[in-house]
Amino acid sequence: MQGKLEDSIKEAAKTIVKMASVSPALDVKNAIKNSLNIEVHEPSKVQLNAILENINLAEKYNAAVCQDTGVPTFFIRLGDGFPIRSGLFKILTEAVREVTKELPLRSNTVDPVSERNSGDNTGLGVPVFDVELFDGNYLEMIYTPKGGGTELPSKAFVIPPGNAWEKLPRLVLDAVVDAGPMPCPPVIVGVGIGPSMDVAAKLAKKAAVLRPVGSRNSNPEVAKLEDALLSAVNKLGIGAHGTGGVVTALDVHIEYAYRHPATFAVGIVFSCWATRRARAVVYPDGKYEVKPQ
């Protein structure tokens, strides 16, 4: 029984790795299509149409939608009653190795000391695993491969809390200007706020890659700020792939945690037009279901 469950986990993981590698998330793809109705700058329209054609060809030929196949990352919700615990990482790592050869995927894991590429998208600390425990008996995992071009312009700050909310819009807009075309706009901008730099950066990453385009924070004041920042970002004139226009960002998402009284940590993370994610749920009997996100 244990062996069957391990096989099911690996097959489910391989399916979502392939699914997410071939096409952006459905909400992202639809947002790109809808942006053609908003964009007025012809060079930017050309880029948006090229992006959509790229997506169509990747889906048609079952090929990676971007040459940067990203850092393999699993966001995991692990039920207390799910039979496999610590062995999960080994299974998912092997799934990434196999898909890297089968699809194939470019390997993006480089030893920072020797500068050698592992060749299979695994290595020390990779894949990246983010694990949340919950009261249940099943396993849920979302796979998202995040490209290096969107990581390069990421920012993290710890600022005094006194007037932090007044400073926040400028920090976000400056980060978008500094990033320019590097993160392959139109982008999703994730903003995280928390007690420390690492927490803020993690929240920003989740905001950028996991939340659907068009979703809003449950706090009405934060949701209002998300709308205001999206409007402000799209007035910067960067446009698709930096060609100018009114669609620089598909959305701006903010996530927050309680902070320390002396600090206001901010993370700003970008996700590109090829924001990719897919989800699988695996049950204790070995049955599983997968779907794009």
Give the pLDDT confidence of 105-124 residue by residue, as tens digits.
Answer: 999 999 999 999 999 999 99
pLDDT exceeds cutoff 70 at 256: yes
* Angstrom distances, CA of residue 139 to CA of 72, 103, 251: 18, 25, 29
pLDDT tier at 266 (50, 70, 90 boundaries)?
very high
Amino acid, single-letter form, for residue 177: V
pLDDT exceeds cutoff 80 at 1: no
Closest C-alpha to 128, from 77, 197, 76: 76
Q: Provide the 3-class DSSP secondary structure of residue 66.
A: coil
| DSSP notation for 154-216 | -EEEEE-STTHHHHHHHHHHHHHHHHTTTT-SSEEEEEEEESSHHHHHHHHHHHHHTSPTT--
Question: pTM for the whole thing?
Answer: 0.96
Amino acid, single-letter form, for residue 290: V
Q: Provide the 3-class DSSP secondary structure of residue 67.
A: coil
Closest C-alpha to 186, from 156, 220, 230, 145: 230
Q: What does the block give as tokens for 170?
A: 């400028």
Query: What average pLDDT does this structure show over 71-90?
Result: 96
pLDDT tier at 292 (50, 70, 90 boundaries)?
confident
Give the start-to-end residue ranges of the domains of the chain: 2-23+65-147+275-292, 149-271
- Could you count the other beta carbons within 10 Å of the beta carbon of residue 287? 12
Q: What is the CATH number of domain 2-23+65-147+275-292?
A: 3.30.1330
Give phi and psi for 24, each to the nearest 5: -65, 165
pLDDT tier at 291 (50, 70, 90 boundaries)?
confident
Q: What is the mean pLDDT of the chain?
A: 97
Q: What local confidence, expressed as pLDDT, does residue 3 receive?
A: 80
pLDDT exceeds cutoff 90 at 2: no
Burial 257-280 (b: 16+ CB within 10 A, else e): eebeeebbbbbbbbbbbbbbbbbb
Percent of the chain with pLDDT over 70: 100
pLDDT exceeds cutoff 90 at 40: yes
Q: State the maximum Cα–Cα separation within the chain, in Å, rounded to a whole number.
A: 58
pLDDT exceeds cutoff 70 at 179: yes
Give phi and psi for 260, each to the nearest 5: -75, 145
- 254 forms bridges with which residues in the sheet? 191
Query: What average pLDDT does this structure show over 192-203?
Result: 98
Query: What average pLDDT does this structure show over 189-215?
Result: 98
Give the chain's length: 293
Q: What's the burial of 80, exposed, middle or buried (CB within 10 Å: 0-12/13-18/19+)?
A: exposed
pLDDT tier at 149 (50, 70, 90 boundaries)?
very high
